[in-house]
Amino acid sequence: MTNRSLSLRDTHGAWRRWVSMGLCVTAAWAAWIPQAPALAQSPQQQAVRVLPDFTDLVEQVGPSVVNIRTIERVRAPQEDVEIDPDMQEFFRRFFGVPMPNIPRQAPRPNNRAPEEERPRGVGSGFILSPDGYVMTNAHVVADADEVIVTLTDKREFKARIVGADKRSDVAVVKIEASGLPAVKIGDVSRLKVGEWVLAIGSPFGLENTVTAGIVSAKQRDTGDYLPFIQTDVAINPGNSGGPLINMRGEVVGINSQIYSRSGGFMGISFAIPIDEAMRVSDQLRSTGHVTRGRIGVQIDRVTKDVAEAAGLAKPQGALVRAVEPGSPAEKAGIEPGDIILRFDGKPIDSASDLPRIVGGTKPGTRSTVTVFRRGANKDLSIVVAELEPEKPVAKKGGGKPEKPKSALTVAHLGLSVSDLSEAQRRELKLKGGVHVDAATDAAARAGLREGDVILQVGNIEVANVRDFEAALARLDRSKPVSVLFRRGEWAQYALIRPGR
């Protein structure tokens, strides 16, 4: 027993020594191994990422959101009909029975049918000020005979339409109330793609419905005057005019449009940026309408081919396709084929930027417009006019053109051109150019066709066939040829690629 006890004690002692040595070696090894640097984390990254809780936002902003109901008045059909004696005789002869006797009612004043109120639509809005100004979409209140605003506390008010702007789809209505909970206006420039946003409105008439999502894109161009905020927040008919709210409880947009093939939500919604909407609402509240600037040009986007044909380093700006006679643009010297790169110091990245910037300029303002023309930038001074309703372009009647004085066929480009007659120049209001008599092969692939008028070749103006031939002689026959041509009222670029 004694020897066994000693042996056990020795074994335990040896085990402890081995463990102690192992720990020391492990510690030394760990100290020797280079330590990986700790990942730097921002306070937001260090916080536990959880789905946001919108309850506080709904309690904060919900009372400021209203339901808007519109009513139209229509005339009820006349129910009393005076029976014609000849009609009575017709029924007696051919049907063998007298026509049913319809008792006549007392005649109405002025022989007018009574008006009947019919629900027209339902939308949303939000309170701008405690004294009862409410913002919504213009299409929500358009053509309404009566507008009813319902608050979250179920109070109803007849609203007066202060003003509505169809171009921006913004409207302001006024209710006679005070002490109302107004929204806080946010800063759209701080809004980021991927940020959580909230919508409150009345989809399908269901009041105070809350939906949430993220910002999908900013500056989304839909062809309107405003760059929209795109979200995946569930927006349906009836949400129009309601607020888009950020996580600080501020309104950053007005829910205005949806992309849908069925009329319901499909994951793409658009909101008007609140900064643009506030500029419109300020004018509506002060004057009842919106004043915008205009310069009198018809524009198109600058594609990659247009940029290459014009000699631009990259597609940017707005291509001037036509200049209105007598407009500020014509007086400033802007020509069809110019590419507007800057207006009043602001860059024009895409064609849709120009009407927004010009529209936001006060009429009468003298501004500088930078155009790209024949390979170089040129600054022009222009006085902005007031935008008026668009006038339809009158179609020019034309008789048979006069026989051209000279003509030229360029086989490798597929072009046959001729001089413009005096009548053609007067009709088109052009100083020069050559008429396209035929466009085949390379020219046809580039989009040219008979009847077009070529104004420039390789950024060189051509007044007649002789200039056209001289301009072509300076160019490499194997390389693409850029031409500026006019078709009707429009001017555009084309890039003819020979030998294809």
Q: Which of 169, 181, 178, 174 is nearest to 285 (CA)?
A: 174
Q: What pLDDT is attached to residue 301? A: 86
What number is the average pLDDT over the span 44-55?
Answer: 69
449 C-beta neighbours (distance < 10 Å), count: 14
Q: For residue 349, give the amino acid letter.
A: D
Using pLDDT thresholds of 50, 70 and 90, give the confidence band for residue 400: very low
Q: What pLDDT is attached to residue 66? A: 96
Active-site choice (64, 240, 256, 281):
240
Q: What pLDDT is attached to residue 299? A: 87
Dist. CA 336–CA 372, nearest whole Å:
11
223: left (phi over 0), alpha (psi -120 to 50) or beta: left
Please provide the DSSP assignment of 308-356 as one string. Answer: HHHT-SSS-SEEEEEE-TTSHHHHHT--TT-EEEEETTEE--STTHHHH
Contact 318, 301 (CB under 8 A): yes
Please provide the DSSP assignment of 178-237 as one string. Answer: -S--PPEE--GGG--TT-EEEEEE-GGG-TTEEEEEEEEEEEE--SSSSPEEEE-S---T
Q: Which residue has the higher pLDDT, 429 or 153?
A: 153
Using pLDDT thresholds of 50, 70 and 90, give the confidence band for residue 424: confident
Q: Are strands 228-231 and 184-185 parallel, antiparallel or unpaired?
A: unpaired
Is 60 exceeded by the pLDDT of residue 5?
Answer: no
Q: What pLDDT is attached to residue 82? A: 53
Q: What pLDDT is attached to residue 394? A: 38
Is residue 240 part of the annotated active site? The answer reads: yes
Is 90 exceeded by the pLDDT of residue 98?
Answer: no
Is 90 exceeded by the pLDDT of residue 103?
Answer: no
Q: What pLDDT is attached to residue 284? A: 94
Is 60 exceeded by the pLDDT of residue 79?
Answer: no
What number is the average pLDDT over the span 63-87?
Answer: 71
Contact 262, 268 (CB under 8 A): no
Is 169 flagged in the annotation as binding? yes
Q: How many residues does the chain have?
A: 500
Q: Which residue has the higher pLDDT, 149 or 224?
A: 149
Q: What pLDDT is attached to residue 88? A: 55
Radius of gyration of the chain (CA): 36
Is 50 exceeded by the pLDDT of residue 393?
Answer: no
Is 238 flagged in the annotation as binding? yes
Active-site choice (129, 131, 139, 305):
139
Q: What pLDDT is attached to residue 109? A: 57
Is 70 exceeded by the pLDDT of residue 48?
Answer: no
**148 to 140, 151, 237, 255, 288: CA distances (angstroms):** 11, 10, 17, 19, 20
Is 90 exceeded by the pLDDT of residue 63?
Answer: yes
Q: What does pTM read for this prediction?
A: 0.63
Contact 128, 183 (CB under 8 A): yes
Active-site choice (165, 169, 353, 452):
169
What number is the average pLDDT over the span 196-222?
Answer: 90
**pLDDT tens digits along 254-298:** 998 877 666 667 788 999 999 999 999 999 999 988 888 999 998
Is 90 exceeded by the pLDDT of residue 374?
Answer: no
Token pair 């031939």 is at which residue?
A: 469
Is residue 300 part of the annotated active site? The answer reads: no
Q: What pLDDT is attached to residue 245? A: 96
Using pLDDT thresholds of 50, 70 and 90, give the confidence band for residue 484: confident
Average pLDDT over all residues of the chain:
80
Is 60 exceeded by the pLDDT of residue 127?
Answer: yes
Is 80 exceeded by the pLDDT of residue 396?
Answer: no
Dist. CA 276–CA 424, nearest whole Å:
45
What's the maximum distance between 2 C-alpha atoms anywhere in the chain?
Answer: 143
Is 50 exceeded by the pLDDT of residue 2?
Answer: no
Question: Which of 4-13, 41-50, 180-189, 219-228 comes out lowest in average pLDDT?
Answer: 4-13
**56 to 59, 62, 203: CA distances (angstroms):** 5, 10, 22
Q: What pLDDT is attached to residue 186? A: 95
Q: What pLDDT is attached to residue 425? A: 83
Using pLDDT thresholds of 50, 70 and 90, give the confidence band for residue 11: very low
Q: What pLDDT is attached to residue 333? A: 93
| DSSP state for residue 397 in the 8-state scheme | P
Is residue 406 part of the annotated active site? The answer reads: no
Q: What pLDDT is attached to residue 49? A: 61
Is 90 exceeded by the pLDDT of residue 247?
Answer: yes
Q: Which domains does the chain have, with CATH numbers?
A: 184-287 (2.40.10.10), 293-386 (2.30.42.10), 407-496 (2.30.42.10)
Contact 471, 432 (CB under 8 A): no
Alpha-carbon dihedral angle through residues 117, 119, 123, 124, given to the nearest 10 degrees:
50
Cβ-in-10-Å burial (0-12, 13-18, 19+) of 311 comes to: middle
Is 60 exceeded by the pLDDT of residue 9?
Answer: no
**pLDDT tens digits along 310-351:** 889 899 999 998 888 889 999 999 998 899 999 999 999 988
Q: What pLDDT is attached to residue 100? A: 56
